[in-house]
């Protein structure tokens, strides 16, 4: 059972998410709160697996709450909720380790898929937000040595560069003339070698190591 906590200051938003989530046989809402202080407390006491986190909330905003929650031992996965585009401070959530970014008006199917993805250890980013997330990461990171970068094979290096350019698995596969399954295998090895848990953190590592730059545009390779 995936245990979900919702943090949003709008009761109508919380109620809508609760209705969708509680209709799934493998999910349950264990906390529904209106501010950052309450969600931090819920994560300490409710054995939460996934948090749906709004950024702008009273008392303590979702950004500060995300940083505090992810600093705890064995923290839940956090999906940032946004509106038409990414909030200006979302780059801090990326660096802190948020696992997903979802539009508040996402379909029920997309919401459920995102929860399942991050609960399984993957990352979930709405396709319309992916490149914006990458741009946020590019402008928020200082370059320095990253352990594991020198262990990447040439192909893994290529895959990481394309990932840092904001490309999906399907797009990377097309660019490198590989199957999506092969791309997933390479990405899994990249995550292991870099000691990161998901695609977002891998992108951060790429920019930190300086192997991807704001004008990154990897050439096609056979």
Check residue 131 and give its pLDDT: 64
Q: What is the mean pLDDT of residues 11-15?
A: 95
Q: Which residues contact 160 (CB under 8 A, 6 or more apart)?
A: 152, 190, 202, 205, 206, 211, 212
Q: What is the mean pLDDT of residues 153-181?
A: 90
Is pLDDT at 56 greater than 90 in this prediction? no
**Tokens matching residue 215:** 């004008």
Query: Mean pLDDT over all residues of the chain?
Result: 85
Is pLDDT at 144 greater than 70 in this prediction? no
Element at 102 (helix H, strand E): strand 100-103
- Under 8 Å between Cβ of 137 and 204: yes
> Rounded to whole angstroms, how far apart are CA atoms 200 and 95?
9
- Under 8 Å between Cβ of 211 and 160: yes
Check residue 220 and give its pLDDT: 44
pLDDT in tens, 63-115: 899 999 999 989 999 999 887 555 566 667 777 788 888 888 889 999 999 99
Q: Which residues contact 178 (CB under 8 A, 6 or more apart)?
A: 172, 186
Q: Which residues contact 82 (CB under 8 A, 6 or more apart)?
A: 55, 90, 101, 102, 103, 104, 129
Check residue 69 and give its pLDDT: 96
Check residue 221 and give its pLDDT: 43
Q: Hunting for tokens 């031992």 — which residue is that?
A: 73
Q: Which domains does the chain have, with CATH numbers?
A: 2-138 (3.40.50.2300), 149-209 (1.10.10.10)
> Rounded to whole angstroms, how far apart are CA atoms 95 and 136?
10
Is pLDDT at 163 greater than 50 in this prediction? yes
pLDDT in tens, 197-212: 777 778 878 877 877 6
Compute the 3-state secondary structure of the chain and give helix, strand, coil in percent, each to the nearest 5: 50, 15, 35
pTM tops 0.75, yes or no: no
Q: Which residues contact 88 (CB under 8 A, 6 or more apart)?
A: none
Task: Give the β-pairing of 100-103 and 27-33.
Answer: unpaired
**Ranked by mean pLDDT, which of 60-69, 126-135, 209-218 comes out on top?**
60-69
């Amino acid at each position: 059972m995936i245990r979900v906590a919702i943090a949003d200051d709008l009761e109508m938003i919380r109620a809508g998410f609760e209705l969708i989530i509680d209709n799934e046989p493998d999910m349950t809402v264990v906390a529904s709160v209106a501010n950052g202080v309450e969600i931090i407390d819920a994560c300490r006491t409710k054995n939460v697996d996934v948090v749906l986190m709004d950024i702008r909330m009273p008392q303590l905003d979702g950004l500060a709450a995300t940083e505090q929650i992810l600093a705890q031992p064995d923290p839940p996965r956090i999906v940032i909720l946004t509106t038409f585009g990414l909030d200006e401070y979302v780059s801090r959530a990326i660096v802190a380790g948020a696992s997903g970014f979802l539009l508040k008006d996402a379909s029920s199917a997309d919401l459920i898929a995102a929860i399942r993805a991050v609960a399984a250890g993957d990352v979930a980013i709405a396709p319309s937000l992916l490149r914006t997330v990458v741009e946020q990461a590019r402008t928020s990171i200082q370059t320095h040595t990253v352990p594991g970068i020198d262990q990447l094979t040439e192909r893994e290096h290529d895959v990481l560069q394309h990932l840092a350019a904001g490309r999906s698995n399907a797009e990377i596969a097309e660019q490198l003339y590989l199957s999506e399954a092969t791309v997933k295998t390479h990405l899994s090895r990249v995550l292991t070698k870099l000691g990161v848990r998901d695609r977002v953190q891998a992108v951060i590592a790429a920019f930190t190591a300086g192997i991807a730059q704001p004008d990154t545009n990897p050439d096609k390779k056979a």
